[in-house]
Amino acid sequence: MGPEEFCKRTVDAGTITAKKLLTAFSIRPPAFLDGLDDDNYFPLLSLALSRELRKRAKLTKYNTMEDAVHLLHTARNIIVLTGAGISTSLGIPDFRSKGTGLYAQYEHLGLNDPQEIFDINIFKQDPNIFYSVARDILPNTERFSPTHAFIALLQQKGKLLTNYSQNIDNIEAKAGILPEKLVQCHGSFATATCVKCKHQVKGETLFPDIKAGKIPRCKKCAEGRKSAGNSRKRKVNKDGTERKVRRRPGDYDSNSDSEFDLPTSCGVMKPDITFFGEALPDEFSKRLTEIDCKLVDLVIVIGTSLKVAPVSEVVPFLPANIPQIYISRTPVSHVNFDIDLLGDCDIVVSELCRRAGWNLDHEMVPKGQVVDVATVEGYESRHVFTQTYPDPSTPPVSNEASSSGSDGEKANGGDSLKRTRRSAGATVVDKAGK
């Protein structure tokens, strides 16, 4: 009936309050609206309605593996959306999502919410919190997964329109995905910027400091400081330590004589990953809304549950008639994909390539690999991938892949934590070695 008529028959007719109607859209009215007039709930209701209306209906003509392969063969402008799931086989933990158990190891930081690690205001107050975690999430591998190789293969075949990645590990670049084909929606460690003077450097110049547990400081700020500092005599105590002198704001604050030790008043360098509270890279929405949405002819979502903005906003934005394939361990319910390919994404893409007659040459795809594809009962468009050779008794992900979604992301995240911690930087052989 459309939103106007719907509102006419509900809130306008006085048959139900906006507050109560919100619950029909699974929205729990926030506490700060408690006790206010019902009008105050209208903006939220409007949001709920538009979200519901934007939800895309599944295209009924795409269901089978053959359909998926056919789409791969015919598509010329594929948007690939990727998340942490495509890097976990390399031992890179999924840090962004809540409830994976990964944050548990940072309890000692005393955060109210683990996302505070990536909160820009907290970073500005105390960069120690981020930097005590940063060394663990530093991209430290030259390797890339078969799934990265699959995206590079799409590019090589002239089929890749854009890879929108949620990942900050910059592994896409290592797999050969061209900068013009890649949008890192949350930024990456590839570059870093001084929070004070905005001086930008290559991200890897920070890595030694990060690995040593130091807070990287801005060299540009330091140069300015140094020339100011040299013109002033330092006052030294009898024991050789520098005496506190009256300071102007932002003055030299170091108690070390080493010129390589940058003073703490110099700006802190921050990797150009997008923190909570920071604007997203401009490139993201511009490219999506002005170019890509007009060209795209196939969407493949890999290794993300699509719950974190902005990637979560990409799919609802694209034309609803464009086919969408979902590759992940567990299905999602908040987006209607046309075909769900469930399992370890490295296994799914290698089987897809095999069926497409494409050669996905990668050292983590075992020689003679055999993958079983089973259609889930009652869901003709949902297929579960299990590697049956080599080592069918302990396939790396058979437990998760075959349980198609019943146990959700928590269990998977916890399991992948155990595995990735044990086998950081390991090959598929280690992956199987539970």
- Regarding 225 and contact with Zn ion (CB under 5 A), the answer is no
Q: Does 197 bind Zn ion (CB under 5 A)?
A: yes
Q: How far apart are CA 135 and CA 214, in angstroms?
A: 10
Rule CB under 5 A: say whether 220 interacts with Zn ion: yes
Interacting stretch for Zn ion, rule CB under 5 A, among 214-222, 232-240, 254-262, 397-405?
A: 214-222
Only one of the segments 20-28, 101-109, 210-218, 276-284 lies at the binding site for Zn ion (rule: CB under 5 A); that segment is: 210-218
Among 135, 157, 181, 196, contact with Zn ion (rule: CB under 5 A): 196
Q: What is the closest distance, in whole angstroms, from the C-beta atom of residue 266 to Zn ion in the complex?
A: 6
Out of 70, 124, 157, 199, name the contact with Zn ion by CB under 5 A: 199
CB of residue 263 to Zn ion, shortest distance in Å: 11
Q: Which residues contact 121 (CB under 8 A, 6 or more apart)?
A: 277
Residue ranges of the alpha helices (H) in 162-320?
Answer: 171-174, 207-211, 219-230, 282-287, 293-295, 311-317
**Residues 110-169 contacting Zn ion, CB under 5 A:** none
Q: What are phi and psi of 107, to 5 degrees?
A: -55, -35
Where are the extended beta strands (E) located within 104-206?
A: 160-165, 182-184, 187-194, 200-202
Neighbour order of strands in the sheet with 370-375: 182-184, 160-165, 78-82, 298-302, 324-328, 339-342, 382-389, 370-375
Asked whether 391 and 367 are in contact (CB, 8 A), the reply is: no
Find the shortest distance in angstroms from Cβ 262 to Zn ion: 10
Residue 366 binding Zn ion, by CB under 5 A: no
297 closest CA partner among 276, 272, 325: 325
Question: Which one, 81 or 221, has the nearer CB to Zn ion?
Answer: 221
- State the CB neighbour count (10 A cutoff) for residue 68: 26
Site map 261..290 versus Zn ion, x via CB under 5 A: ------x-----------------------
Cβ burial of 419 (10 Å; 0-12, 13-18, 19+) is buried
Could you tell me which residues are beta bridge partners of residue 119? 276
Beta bridge partners of 113: none
- Nearer CB in complex with Zn ion: 197/309: 197
Q: How many residues bind Zn ion (CB under 5 A)?
A: 8
Q: Which listed range, 44-52, 157-165, 191-199, 376-384, lies at the site for Zn ion (CB under 5 A)?
A: 191-199
* Omega of the bond leading into 263 within 30 degrees of 0 (cis): no
Nearer to Zn ion, 181 or 219 (CB): 219
The question of whether 186 is a catalytic residue gets the answer: yes
Q: Which of 133, 152, 221, 296 binds Zn ion (CB under 5 A)?
A: 221
Under the binding rule (CB under 5 A), the answer on residue 217 touching Zn ion is no
Phi and psi, residue 77, nearest 5°: -135, 80
Shortest spacing between CB 116 and Zn ion, in angstroms: 24
Two tokens, residue 247 = 């300071």
Q: How far apart are CA 62 and CA 57, in angstroms?
A: 12
Tokens of 384: 């579960």
Q: How far is the CB of 254 from Zn ion (least distance, A)?
A: 15
Contacting range for Zn ion; rule: CB under 5 A; set: 39-47, 185-193, 218-226, 247-255: 218-226
Q: For the chain, first and last CA: distance in Å?
A: 54
Which of these is catalytic: 186, 334, 362, 383?
186
Q: CB of 112 within 8 A of CB of 269? A: no
Q: 21 or 221: whose CB is closer to Zn ion?
A: 221
In whole angstroms, the minimum distance from the beta carbon of 270 to Zn ion comes to 11
User: For the chain, what's the residue count?
Assistant: 434
- For Zn ion, the binding residue among 86, 153, 175, 194 (CB under 5 A) is 194
Site for Zn ion in 24-53 (CB under 5 A): none
44 or 269: CB nearest Zn ion: 269
Nearer to Zn ion, 71 or 268 (CB): 268
Compute the least distance from the CB of residue 430 to Zn ion, in Å.
42
CB of 268 vs Zn ion, minimal distance in Å? 9
Q: Does 206 bind Zn ion (CB under 5 A)?
A: no
The Cα-based distances of 417 to 84, 125, 361, 407 in angstroms read: 12, 30, 27, 16
Could you give the C-alpha distances from 286 to 74, 187, 241, in angstroms and in order? 27, 15, 54
Q: Does 218 bind Zn ion (CB under 5 A)?
A: yes
**Nearest to Zn ion of 278, 313 (CB atom):** 278
Which of 66, 26, 61 minimizes the C-alpha distance to 47?
A: 26
**Would you say 267 or 310 has its CB closer to Zn ion?**
267
> Which positions are annotated as active-site residues?
186
Q: Which residues bind Zn ion (CB under 5 A)?
A: 194, 196-197, 199, 218, 220-221, 267
